[in-house]
Amino acid sequence: MTAVSAAINGGNLYTPYIVKSLNEPETNSVIVNNEPKVVRKVISENTSVKVRYALESVVANGSGRNAYISNYRVGGKTGTAQKVKDGKYMVGNYITSFMGFLPADDPEIVVYIAIDNAKGVTQYGGTVAAPIAKNVMNSAISALKIEERYDGMIKEYNYGDKRYYTVSNVIGMNTKEAVENLKNFKVEFSGSGSKVIHQSPKEGSYIAEGEVIRLMLGDE
């Protein structure tokens, strides 16, 4: 976690801490407060930018695709390590892992998931650990109130992948026009009137094919 953080935060290696502070339980006064402490500079800012870009590409276009979160910029790297026993590689026994972070261009959170000898699945980091990391990062998005972004890498598709599309602006359109412009989604209407006066998700959102777009009707 410390090494990955240094690679993506601009190149600064920090002293790791388990907790931010230790507080006295009754008064809540701070006994120990761990402030960020730089150990040394390990790579340049320019190199760190390139690392973040490469790792965002892993999630959008590579082996980390199962950690992709629409409307957020996620970077990451998968790991698949065959285990060793008595000096020999074990058959069908791996540690699968995924290291993810977001936002990819200005990270606020890093998540590391490792699974020891997963059962009943194909043992690759991208298939086993990445979906778990995605769930953790989704929870972090909610807890930290990380805002949606529409400037990240667009996911490239393989056969069988769930497809994502950008939501068009249909405010001011009639129902027929709105449905035609949102043909990749399921459209639900509420209210009365001849024109769309509100839509959710909003224009520019990048969501999965078949997801629901809610439109409110009214009169201009």
Q: Give the domain ranges of the chain.
A: 2-144, 164-218
Q: State how beta strands 212-218 and 186-191 pair.
A: parallel
pLDDT recorded at residue 220: 64
215 three-state secondary structure: strand
Asked if 144 contacts 132 with a C-beta cutoff of 8 angstroms, the reply is no
The residue type at 37: K
pLDDT recorded at residue 159: 64
CATH architecture of residue range(s) 2-144:
3-Layer(aba) Sandwich (3.40)
Neighbours of 107 (CB within 10 A): 20
User: What is the rounded distance in angstroms from the CA atom of residue 172 to the CA atom of residue 142?
Assistant: 31
- DSSP 8-state class, residue 25: T
The first and second tokens of residue 137, run together, are 């990062």
CATH of 164-218, one of 3.90.209.20, 3.30.10.20, 3.40.50.720, 1.10.240.10: 3.30.10.20
Statement: the pTM of the whole predicted model exceeds 0.85: no
- Inform me whether the pLDDT recorded for 158 exceeds 80: no
Alpha carbon 164 to its chain centroid, in Å, reads 15
Average pLDDT of the residues of the chain: 91
Lowest mean pLDDT among 12-16, 110-114, 121-125, 196-200: 121-125
Residue with tokens 């935060």: 9
Q: State how beta strands 30-33 and 21-23 pair.
A: antiparallel
Confidence of residue 71 (pLDDT cuts 50, 70, 90): confident
Phi, psi of 127 (to 5 degrees): -95, -30
Domains 2-144 and 164-218 equal at CATH topology level: no
